[in-house]
Structure 1
Amino acid sequence: MQTKSNILLNNANLTALPESVIVPGYDRSKVTSGIVHVGVGGFHRSHEAFYTNEYMTQSGDLSWGICGVGLRDADRKMKTLLEAQDYLYTLIVKHPDGTVENKVIGSLSDFLLGCDDPEAVINKMACAETKIVSLTITEGGYNFNPATGEFDFSNPDVIYDLANPNTPRLVFGYLVAALKLRRENGLPPFTIQSCDNVQHNGDVAKKMLIAYATAVDSELGKWIESEVSFPNAMVDRITPATTPDDIAYLQQLGIQDEWPVTCEPFHQWIIEDKFILTRPQWEQVGAQFVTDVTPYEKMKIRLLNAGHSVLGILGSLQGFETIDESVQDPLFAKFLRHFMDVEVTPILSPVAGINLDEYKSTLLARFANPNIKDGLARICSENAAKLSTFMLPTILDNLAKNGEIECATLIIAAWCYYSDKRVDKQGKALVISDAMADEVHKLASQTSERSTALLELDTLFASLTSSSVFVMAYKKQVVAFYDTPDVKHHMQMILNNYSV
């Protein structure tokens, strides 16, 4: 609750903030927006916006302000609150030892809402000032069929966008409209920079956009394919959802910030250096530019993101609420490390400059940070898309190499039970947030009658159901899980069987 002593976070009050709060080290009135970013959530604000803020502070190059874009009415709250704060917000960096750093981020310079004024968004992307359009649209936002990897033209929003190109709903409609306008105006295209946890995220963005663009205008599709750059990137920083306690913490410091962001101190950004126009020199503030990001992104997605799913699904069923609570249970930590060592590490390529054993140990330490209360409900949001990206490829790779699949298969079986019963071991309702929740629940709820019912979800499992090894392993796991729905029992059984 705001009190008279609270200092409202805005441009005018930056100099009035406590000395312990770091403020932007540049004149925000001189910032121009070279970046348009679609999907202004917590992660974008702890990652790309953070790097850009640091770069402008260090370099004095103020041509890289970020114009945020929300496409849906659900983004209205973010726009409204940030607008009232001159697009400033506090980044609360929480260290494991209890140390906290408070930094005001000033790189966001505007926020447009596509559902209110799609033309404004298209024109902003199409203007000469914009050099990069970056994306944090989540795994599901790329609109591909996980089983085929192809663009899903059956999506009702895609059908709408094709019929209404000037008032699109999805990001592809906006990108195509803006690129078409730049081409007509004789401007070079912008770089499209994906910041999502999708392996080969740039390649996926390119494939999906070209498929959509070709359906709009085949010549435009060819131009985008030959002229637009889509650098792949690996992004990493654990960023839990903002809570009322975070707002209250700043109020205790005398600061009124309606939507701060909390995060861990660790951050990593590895990017392929193939930008069309100029770009921020993010490497000056810790980003790493490489010729091929594949080994890094595969390592991170298969270990960190899949590790989150392991802890998220099993921990939710156990009745845990946060990642640190899950990993601080010795059995959960042991099982996760076993999954990393036995099922993931053998299918990873060497990663230059990375010691995998140290990386895995660091992950466990990051997950255990007691001051980062990353909720399992957030971790388990969009489980269907996340598992198809983070977990199923590891199973496929191990099947091809006759490797181990027990741990990963247990996670799929546990997810089936999770999606069917929707309660933890104490009977408390689980918070399910997934675009495919109803479809998954319908099949999962038939498991007692047909043990492999969930595998009939072709959009996820078509590539796996042809493997009798996987189907038999899943059937064994899911039948055992339904007979004894105790996650610790099944984790211990796998660990015991492996040690025999």
Structure 2
Amino acid sequence: MTPISYPYQREDIKTGIVHIGVGNFHRAHQQYYTNLLLENKNQQQWGICGIALLPSDEKIVKDLRSQNLDYTLTVCGRNGKDEMYKIGSLTELIWGIENPEAVIAKIADPAVKIISLTITEGGYNLDKETNEFNLNDPQIQYDLKNQSAPKTVFGFIAEGLRLRKDNGAVGVTILSCDNLQHNGNTAKRAFTTFIEAQDKELGNWIKNNVTFPNSMVDRITPATTPQDIERLNEKSDWNDKAPVYCEDFIQWVIEDNFIAGRPEWEKTGVEFTDDVTAFENMKLSLLNASHTLLSYPSFLKGHRKVDQAMEDQSIVRLIRDFMNIDITPYVPAPAHTDLDLYKQTLIERFSNHSVSDQVSRLCFDGISKFPVYIMPNLAKMIDDDKDLTRIAFLIASYRHYLKYKADDKGSSYEIGEPWITSEDGTLIQSDNPVDFLSLSAFKSIELEKVNAFVTLYKQFVDDIKDNGITPVLESIVN
């Protein structure tokens, strides 16, 4: 399969966007839309400068630089037919560990009108109980005192904005592309809190010169393994060190609030709106929450790929019942959206053999995911005296996954929880299962005081430990 090459000259593209976090999702989503847009000659000022800030980003930076920042994106159809694109919209790539001054200078560049972000749900440094920015974090404390030598995304953006202000540059939009309810509001709270604590004058400047649109993003994009790289390169006519593959479904809904102008992404299928709330709620409550529900029981059953898990009818029934019974009452459909079709499409997307996402990726960072995807609707369900069976089962499964680190087949595994606290660790190891309900991920609800929930949860904890996940799940769905 020969990649569809981009129909523009790279040398004609100017950088108008800085993006922090050049992971697979960004390269399958925002870069994909922008690559399509750059075909329009009047839109070629919107190339994207990628910025990587972590030591672990060294490999992707070197790989992309070795091939002139080009890479292939394989879009895997649910019908078994794939399309491969050569992406050229990544115009520059800066690694902050190597050249922090260049990061600051690029953020301050007056040609840059948008600073976009994929820094993960946990990257906004919000306290899980209060949802306020954590100024006491050691790295944040360092950046507050060391303006010119930052370590965090907050320090880098603050220093870049300070330089913009001092140079009299125009304002800029900070566009979050992370899976968070009202992600623009979240970004605004995080960045303004940091900046006001560091520099009151700059804090006043951003009130009139920086906008933070909310957005909703969607495209399942697995991690790329060495085996995937070999497989994808067999299909293409060149040796790509950093290929990406994704599903054929894609969606991006953005609040139209760009202080310094924006690309005409609507030409490529992006939807602009005055309010993204209904779209966010639908996606986070149905797709992301269902992914979380699928993850821990599937992993404990021994499934390692999502499409494999979706061949397990007990998993499919669990997800369908969760979406139809538990969540649909709290999801008003956005305009022109058929909710039944959306849910059926989700089942098809999860079952896409060509994408074959890792269940471990869905399990990763549950501490950050539960507060966003599960707890808001759980609070409504408790208030409405709804059946709590499936979510009690999920939380019992999560505890077993974290505490015992072995699945039903006896296979051990490492957990990936970068934001877990020492207090969380103590609660996980406690032999009293009710202690686990005080985990930082659940702090928005005092679950230990909800008797109906605790009764179900404790029974599931005991049954999973004594009998394994499989018979417990069967008892729920049958």
Post-superposition offset of 1:341: 0.9
| Partner Cα separation in structure 1 for residue 298 and residue 48 of structure 2 | 37
2:291 equivalent to 1:311: no
Note the 1:270-419 alignment, pairs <5 A: 270-419=253-402
Deviations 1:112-166, CA, capped at 9 Å, x for gaps: 1112222211110111110000000000101001211000122111111112111
Counterpart in the other structure of 1:454: 436
Work out whether 1:483 is the aligned partner of 2:466. yes
Match of 1:145 in 2: 127
8 Å Cα contact 1:481/1:490 also seen in 2: yes
Distance across 1 between alignment mates of 2:85 and 2:440: 46
Q: Partner of 1:255: helix, strand, or coil?
A: coil
Structure 1 position 437, deviation (Å):
4.8
**1:58, CA displacement in angstroms?**
4.0
Residue of structure 2 in register with 1:3 after alignment:
none
- Identify the residue that residue 166 of structure 1 maps to in structure 2: 148
Measure how far apart 1:456 and its partner are: 2.8
> What is the aligned counterpart of 2:240 among 257, 279, 294?
257
Q: Which residue of 2 aligns with 1:191?
A: 173
Could you state the TM-score of these two structures normalised by the residue count of structure 2? 0.96
Instruction: Tell me the alpha carbon deviations over residues 38-67 of structure 1, each in whole angstroms, 9 at most, x when there is no partner.
Output: 000000000000000000124552111110
**Could you say which residue in structure 2 is the equivalent of 1:228?**
210
Q: Is the 8 A contact 1:147 1:463 kept in 2?
A: no
- Shift of residue 391, structure 1, vs aligned partner: 1.1
Relative to structure 1, the CA distance from residue 385 to residue 232 in structure 2 (aligned partners, 3 Å threshold; closer, same or farther) is same
1:444 paired with 2:428, answer yes
Alpha-carbon distance in structure 2 between the residues aligned to 1:36 and 1:125 = 7
Distance in 1 of aligned mates of 2:283 and 2:159: 33
How far has the Cα of 1:244 moved from its partner? 2.2
Moved more, 276-285 or 451-460: 451-460
Q: Which of 88, 92, 96 in structure 1 is aligned with 2:74?
A: 92
State the match for 1:208 in structure 2. Answer: 190
Structure 2 stretches lacking a partner, 5+ long = none
Aligned to 1:46: 28
| Matching residue of 2:411 | 428
Contact 1:377 1:431 in 2 (8 A): no
> Which secondary structure does the structure 1 equivalent of 2:43 belong to?
coil
Task: Say which SS state the counterpart of residue 104 (structure 1) adopts.
Answer: strand
* CA distance, structure 1, for counterparts of residue 450 and residue 347 of structure 2: 33
Contact 2:43–2:264 under 8 Å retained in 1:
no
Task: Quote the offset at 1:106 in angstroms.
Answer: 0.4
TM-score norm. by structure 1 comes to 0.91
Q: Secondary structure at the match of 2:433?
A: coil
- Separation (CA, whole Å) in 2 of partners of 1:466 and 1:490: 22
How far residue 492 of structure 1 moved from its aligned partner, in angstroms, is: 2.9
Task: Determine helix, strand or coil for the equivalent of 2:267.
Answer: helix
Distance 1:437 1:207, change over 3 A: closer
For 1:274 and 1:467, locate their aligned partners in 2 and report how far apart those are by CA, in whole Å.
42
Provide the C-alpha distance between the structure 2 equivalents of 1:54 and 1:397, rounded to a whole number of angstroms.
41
Distance in 1 (CA, whole Å) between partners of 2:133 and 2:185 is 13
Distance 1:301 1:331 in 2: 22
Give the secondary-structure state (helix, strand or coil) at the position aligned to 2:416. coil
Letter in 1 for 2:356: K
* C-alpha distance in structure 2 between counterparts of 1:140 and 1:405, whole Å: 26
The Cα offsets for residues 334-367 of structure 1, whole Å up to 9 and x where unpaired, read as 1100011111111112321111111000000000
1:308–1:323 Cα contact (<8 Å) kept = no
Deviations 1:420-479 (A, max 9, x none): 011111111223111145744432222xx3121212324632533364244444334323
Asked if the contact 2:371/2:441 (under 8 Å) is kept, the reply is no
2:41, 2:289 → 1: CA distance? 37
Measured at CA, do residues 374 and 298 of structure 1 come closer, stay the same or move farther in structure 2, by a change above 3 Å? same
**Match in the other structure for 2:19:** 37
Query: 224, 242, 246: which one pairs with 2:228?
Result: 246
Written as runs of structure 1 = structure 2, the 5 A alignment for 1:1-150 is 20-150=2-132
- Work out the percentage of aligned pairs sharing the same amino acid: 39
Amino acid at match of 1:55: L
8 A contact 2:19–2:49 mirrored in 1? yes
Question: Could you give the per-residue CA deviations for residues 147-190 of structure 1, whole angstroms, max 9, x where no partner exists?
Answer: 11000122111111112111111111111111111112111221
Secondary structure at the counterpart of residue 269 of structure 1: strand
Letter in 1 for 2:79: D
User: In 2, distance between residues paired with 1:72 and 1:88?
Assistant: 21
Range 140-149 or range 399-408, more displaced: 399-408
Separation in 1, partners of 2:250, 2:460: 36
How many correspondences in the alignment?
475
Q: Deviations over 1:373-423 (max 9, x none)?
A: 100111111111012211112211212222232212211110000000111
Q: Distance in 1 between matches of 2:309 and 2:42?
A: 43
| Deviations 1:257-287 (CA, angstroms, capped at 9, x unpaired) | 0010000111000000010111110010010
Secondary structure of the residue aligned to 1:152 is coil
Deviation, 1:107, is 0.3
- Paired with 2:209 and 2:11, the residues of 1 have a C-alpha distance of 33
C-alpha distance in structure 2 between counterparts of 1:205 and 1:270, whole Å: 17
Query: Which ranges of structure 1 fall in alignment gaps of 5 or more residues?
Result: 1-17
Q: Report the Cα distance in structure 2 between the residues aligned to 1:148 and 1:452, rounded to whole angstroms.
A: 22
Q: CA RMSD in A?
A: 1.7
Helix, strand or coil at the partner of 2:15: coil
Q: Distance in 2 between matches of 1:315 and 1:197?
A: 22
Residue aligned with 1:452, SS: helix
